Structure 1
Amino acid sequence: MDKLGAMRAFINVARQGSFAGAARQMGLSRSQINRQVVWLEDSLEVSLFNRTTRKVDLTHAGQAYLANILPVLENLDDAELQLQDNQQSLSGTIKINAPMSFGLTHLTPVVLDFMQAYPQIQVQLDLSDEKRDPLSNQFDMTLRIGPPENNPALIEHDITYTSRCLCAAPEFLQRYGTPGSPNDLKELPCLQYGNLVHGNYWDLLYHNKSQRVRINGVLSSNNGDVLKQAAIKGMGLALLPTFIVGEAIAKGQLVPVLQAWQPAPLLISLLYAPNRHMAMRLSVFVKYIQTAFEDAEFLLEG
């Protein structure tokens, strides 16, 4: 753990009065801020905050520690700003990898806005539904949608979550009937996402109850838009992120089914190699992406 980063996280929590506020300020997830502060407390062997469900207050030890480290970090920040002022502007190249559907529809507009805001930065955007290793492919960062990677060789920066929806075309439901329970999916034509770990199985949740259902896969693809088009044509049931099927649902081309059984949301994250001297352009890009998607309703609503 980077102690300087943990100290900055501690200062921001103290200033904002909350972990959520510090996370927004620093462009990190709340869990990341919490882990940094807990690590700092463990290393100092002291509690820095009194935590309740309503507020976060400094302990006496936390107040003393804040008073001691603030001047040090403020001097460091001043030194960094002086160096940055000597640079003409942020420049260089950022090489990004992302999934095809999300990259085309939602990431590309944000990247283009970023480039207009920082015209001296060049971007190489590689879109592919193949899961590529950011290290061996020399990507500065990779956007992933799915379960946490838990890869010790990479930093995983949580951006947000996207919900998923089980849906079908009205014509399909007229032909086969609307499924009343997950067990009905075993006999109905289903459209399978080819990169799913569990293959021909879908995991659905009812409150805290989970049920895994073996599906009758009639078409598989590693691209969600392919499955969406097949679903609109009435070829089967699809289980897809709302950022892919949300517009089709709004137009009535697809209808949500088994809404009481919701699949778990998927994590959207940025992966990059650990680097204490991360280029400023990359740090600015991460914060830009975080801000662009942290309140994006299309990720959570079909």
Structure 2
Amino acid sequence: MDVFNCTLLFHSVAKFKSMSKAAEHHSLSPSAVTKRIAWLEDKLSVQLFVRTTRQLAMTEAGEQYYARTFELSQQWQSVIDETAGSGKKSKGRLRIAAPQPLTNRVLAQVCCDFQKVYPNISIELEVAHFQDLPLSHADISICAEIDGFNSSSYIGRKAFNMHYRLYASPLYLQNNAAINSLDNLPDHNCLYYGLEKRVTWHFDSKTIHVSGNLRTNNTEVLITAAVLGQGIAYLPNELVSEEIASKKLLPILDEHHGEVIGTFIYYAKQDFLPEKIKLFIDFFKKSVA
């Protein structure tokens, strides 16, 4: 046994939260995995997991060891993948994390196009809450710019801007009073993202307080409600391009520009940036330009 390979096995157990699943993944017996984890714990003089009949959880020492060794294991795997693929197309596994709106409406298509060009790169696309990003176990995290971002461990590169505008369905516009100015908005049913009771929409010329009978923290729900004619929504046009093209949503007061939110790519600082990460970053920026 050696510390490095047992540490890689420890990462698998932490990922699957199961000795048996980790054993299956590495083509080992469960007893072999148990013995190697026990050997690693003895070598480190700490307990890495708390074991019960129902679950397996990392101890505080285990979490610290995982955080400190995960990046090293990923760099090691990237070196193996790229060396094995020298002279061939890039290969390996790429972990990408982003909030739900970006995964559904931007990344799903970009990843599909990317894998047509680089079929040997497998992708794990994880939906994550904005407040949890960047994810430590992801190669790349993509989200709106993080306020007060600490750049000591991560690099953030701007990919594109999202431009907020007002939208409503033809059905809503047909059945409700005309909207001739921003001052008309308080008289209409406004659908908004977030669960706050009082919502403010910001435009280049003024700020408007709005109200309505639906508020949600799910962008897909918001878009669907707007398409169904429930009210007016304040949305990034980059996320509703299909609805705009099919005229399921129509722009309202388009001369009034809303907020512009930068979308950034975050990845860990490292001496050796894997080729798969560089390829995806360049491909993503070109795709959304």
Alignment-derived partner of residue 157 in structure 2: 157
In structure 2, the CA distance between the partners of 1:169 and 1:120, relative to structure 1 (3 Å rule), is closer
1:190 shift after superposition? 0.8
Indicate yes or no: 2:203 matched with 1:204.
yes
Aligned length: 205
Which deviates more, 244-253 or 233-242?
244-253
CA distance in 2, matches of 1:86, 1:237: 51
Query: Which runs of at least 4 in structure 1 moved beyond 6 Å after TM superposition?
Result: 83-86
Alignment-derived partner of residue 251 in structure 2: 256
Given that residues 186 and 215 in structure 1 are in contact (C-alpha distance below 8 angstroms), is that contact kept between their aligned partners in structure 2? yes
In structure 2, the CA distance between the partners of 1:221 and 1:285, relative to structure 1 (3 Å rule), is same
CA distance in 2, matches of 1:291, 1:149: 25
CA distance in 2, matches of 1:287, 1:186: 43
Q: 1:202 is matched by which residue type in structure 2? A: W
Indicate yes or no: 2:189 matched with 1:194.
no
Larger Rg: 2
Gaps of 5+ in 1: 1-82, 295-302
Given that residues 224 and 244 in structure 1 are in contact (C-alpha distance below 8 angstroms), is that contact kept between their aligned partners in structure 2? no
CA distance in 1, matches of 2:109, 2:245: 21
Query: Normalization by structure 1: what TM-score?
Result: 0.60
CA distance in 2, matches of 1:93, 1:199: 44
CA distance in 1, matches of 2:117, 2:145: 32
Q: CA RMSD in A?
A: 2.8
Alignment-derived partner of residue 127 in structure 1: 127
Gaps of 5+ in 2: 1-81
Alignment-derived partner of residue 108 in structure 2: 108
Given that residues 135 and 273 in structure 1 are in contact (C-alpha distance below 8 angstroms), is that contact kept between their aligned partners in structure 2? no
1:88 shift after superposition? 5.6
1:130 shift after superposition? 4.8
Alignment-derived partner of residue 237 in structure 2: 242
Deviations 1:194-231 (A, max 9, x none): 289x961110113xxxx221110321222322112111
Identity percentage of aligned residues: 25
Given that residues 97 and 135 in structure 2 are in contact (C-alpha distance below 8 angstroms), is that contact kept between their aligned partners in structure 1? no
Given that residues 129 and 223 in structure 1 are in contact (C-alpha distance below 8 angstroms), is that contact kept between their aligned partners in structure 2? no
Alignment-derived partner of residue 142 in structure 2: 143
Which deviates more, 98-107 or 282-291?
98-107
Q: 2:270 is matched by which residue type in structure 1? A: N
